Structure 1
Amino acid sequence: MSERNKKILIGIFIVIFIIVASVFIEKSRSTKEAKNTVKLGLMPGGKQEDAIWKQVKANAKKEYHINLKFINFTDGDEPNKALTSGEIDLNAFQHYAYLSSWNKANHGDIVSIGDTIITPIHLYSFKYKKVSEIPDSATIAIPNDASNESRALYVLKNAGLIKLDKSNGALSTIKDITSNPKKLTIKEVDASQIPRTLTSIDAAVINYNFAISAKIPEKDSIYKEPLNKDSAQWINFIAARKKDKNKKLYKEVVKAYEQKNVSEIIKKEYPDGGEIPAWNLNLK
């Protein structure tokens, strides 16, 4: 073989080696990236929520080399179904009372692995400026789904309008009202429809997101859900399947959320206290 052909052959081997090595490196990189990718289910939250999760994603990438991939859902039942089936790894959209109800109804084994925020709900009225002004026999609308109905009743309890029997557990219904001194009519309505009823009734307990969507001004809030021991069940969190609750990768996602820069963005995006960082709350 001539010297020239030897050089050509060596050149071909070098090219082949480079190609094989590049494929191997890329495959290794892709495999490592796949192992460090976490699919997290979310519900739509608008620009404010996007800003919060953008920072969480940046924290996860910078500090833990995690590629956080967001999967968006539009129905409140879907994120837990997707988590149970393994379609996603984690989700973050619900509070403890909701999950307790969902697990019971669906024989689920989803658990919290770290707290995120709490979104206080309000008692609104177009007719009255103070809770004390609500008259006898007034009508107050509350959500009709199990977790939000219970939450609204606790708001009325903390506002001093009713008393509740807590012996039935965290979730309460109107049947658990033990004292209603003003003889209020408590009307159960679909949570998304309550803002429309506010013009025709005396007051209503409305979830923050529905109040914002309906453009109900904060000045019409006559009582804000307090942060006390009753609030623990309304804290939102990052959820995982029970078998994965101690998985290091998922715990690092929680750490990426529970940071000062995330807390600062939450406070910046919600200056009215619409959302409050919940991982360091001291509830009494």
Structure 2
Amino acid sequence: MRKKKQKRLIIWLVVAIVVVVGAIFSFGHAGQKQNKTVTVGLVSPSNADEKIWNQVAKTAKDKYGVTVKTKTFTDYTQPNKALANGSIDLNAFQHYAFLNAWNKANKGSLVAIGKTFITPIHLYSNKYKSLKDLPDGATIAVPNDTSNESRALFVLKNAGLITLKKSAGTLATVADIKSNPHNLKIKELAAEQTARSLDDVDAAVVNTNYAVAAKLSDNKILYTEPVNKDSKQWINLIAANKKDQNKEAYQDVVKAYQTTQVKHLIQKYYGDKEIAAWDLKLK
């Protein structure tokens, strides 16, 4: 009888030890999950962008135990370098065309891990109210980085101001302008300077984040880029280093972004100037 009691006691002790050890491991894992921090690089975020990323951070923390921090850069040349050298974990500022061009130019291996939004860009002017008012010989500023310059030239093409050679492909330069019937002068500037140049040029193609930062009003818009199946390369994204693309915490940040709450905030703050793109069907 005593042996049976001792045997039961040993069994209960073993069970208790297993439960305690399991609890310790579970607690340790949960604590580790709660302490994951992911730093995301942004370029000149507007107040609206900050509020959107605050929502992303809240969802990431509450639902996935991931702490999201953001780091601000002032121009497009910095965030990919910072991502490649490990100064940040992710960045969210560019579209597919920019990422592809950067990788090619820098022998990089950054990859998209999630779509965010697409932003139709605009041709703005402080001097004229419509395209037909632009005079012959007008000076138009465009971003000078490879992908955004190409995008700006396609805006001018779609607006009927120039034509491009078929050989231009998706990365057109001023050398690919086939016809320029209005003798427009294309002024290439850093993307962050295009909005500031509006007092010195006749018109400028300005990326939306810089247009918002400069508080350019809609009544200054001469033309808006169309959104269609050709716009795929202009969809913005969250990027990571290729070796890190499947990290759980990074994927959790993507999931925290691609939510109904974020979609509503994009609509609230940007209206039709910015469109959630992770479930967008381009026609």
Structure-1-length-normalised TM-score:
0.81
Identify the residue that residue 70 of structure 2 maps to in structure 1.
Answer: 70
How far 1:257 moved relative to its partner?
Answer: 0.8
Distance (whole Å) between structure 2 residues aligned to residue 279 and residue 37 of structure 1? 24
Pick closer, same or farther for the CA change 1:33–1:102 going to 2, 3 Å: same
Equivalence for 1:280: 279
SS at match of 1:123: strand
Give 1:31's aligned amino acid: Q
Alpha-carbon offset, residue 205 of structure 1: 1.4
**Which residue is 2:3 aligned to?**
none
Question: Is 2:235–2:277's contact at 8 Å kept on the other side of the alignment?
Answer: yes
Distance 1:42 1:219 in 2: 28
- Written as runs of structure 1 = structure 2, the 5 A alignment for 1:136-155 is 136-155=136-155
Maintained 8 Å contact 2:228/2:282: yes
Question: 1:109 Cα deviation (Å)?
Answer: 0.2
Check conservation: 1:40, 1:68, Cα contact below 8 A.
yes
1:104: which partner in 2?
Answer: 104
Gapped regions of structure 2 (runs ≥ 5): 1-20
Query: 2:191 aligns to what?
Result: 191
**CA deviation after TM superposition for structure 1 residue 111, in Å:** 0.6
SS in 1 for 2:195: helix
Give, in whole Å, the separation in 2 of the partners of 1:189 and 1:91. Answer: 23
Structure 1: 5+ residue stretches without partners: 1-20
Question: 1:275 Cα shift?
Answer: 2.3
Displacement after TM superposition at 1:175 (Å)? 0.7
Shift of 1:236: 1.1
Letter in 1 for 2:128: Y
Change in 2 beyond 3 A, CA 1:41/1:221 = same
Contact 2:45 2:72 in 1 (8 A): no
Q: Partner letter of residue 174 of structure 1? A: V
Question: Superposed, which structure 2 residues align to 1:220-231 within 5 Å?
Answer: 220-231=220-231
Q: Which amino acid aligns with 2:276?
A: P
Tell me which residue corresponds to 2:42: 42
Count of residue pairs the alignment pairs up: 262
Gap change, CA 1:49 and 1:108, over 3 Å in 2: same
Provide the residue aligned with 1:165 in structure 2.
165
| Secondary structure class of the residue paired with 2:178 | strand
* 1:206 Cα deviation from its structure 2 partner: 1.9
Q: Which runs of 4+ in 1 moved over 4 A?
A: 23-30
Q: 1:200, CA displacement in angstroms? A: 4.2
Q: CA deviation at 1:207?
A: 2.2
Name the residue aligned to 1:33.
34
Q: Does the 8 Å CA contact 1:111/1:242 hold for their aligned counterparts?
A: yes
Contact kept in structure 1, 2:123 and 2:221, CA below 8 Å: yes
Q: Distance in 2 between matches of 1:281 and 1:90?
A: 23
CA distance in structure 2 between the aligned counterparts of 1:266 and 1:82, rounded to whole angstroms: 26
Q: CA deviation at 1:124?
A: 1.5
Q: Deviations over 1:148-193 (max 9, x none)?
A: 2111101101111112225343211011111222232222233333
Q: Deviations over 1:242-261 (max 9, x none)?
A: 12323343222212111111
Q: Distance in 2 between matches of 1:123 and 1:75?
A: 20
**1:66-99 Cα deviation digits (max 9, x unpaired):** 2223333345333222322333322211111221
1:72 alignment partner, SS class: strand
Q: CA-to-partner distance for each residue in 1:8-42, whole Å, 9 max, x for gaps?
A: xxxxxxxxxxxxx9x999866543434x4333222
- Is the Cα contact below 8 Å between 2:124 and 2:223 reproduced in 1? yes
Give the equivalent residue in structure 2 for 1:242. 242
CA pair 217-69 structure 1, distance change in 2 beyond 3 A: closer
For 1:192, what is the secondary structure of its paired residue?
helix
> CA deviation digits over 1:76-129, x for unaligned, max 9?
333222322333322211111221222122211001011101222211123332
What is the deviation of 1:226? 1.3
Distance 1:211 1:175 in 2: 27
| 1:146–1:171 contact (8 Å) kept in structure 2 | yes
CA contact (8 A) 1:154 1:230 kept: no
Superposition RMSD in Å: 2.7
How far 1:48 sits from its partner (Å)? Answer: 0.8
How much does 1:221 deviate? 0.6
In the superposition, relative to structure 1, how do residues 150 and 228 fare at CA in structure 2: closer, same or farther (>3 Å)? Answer: same
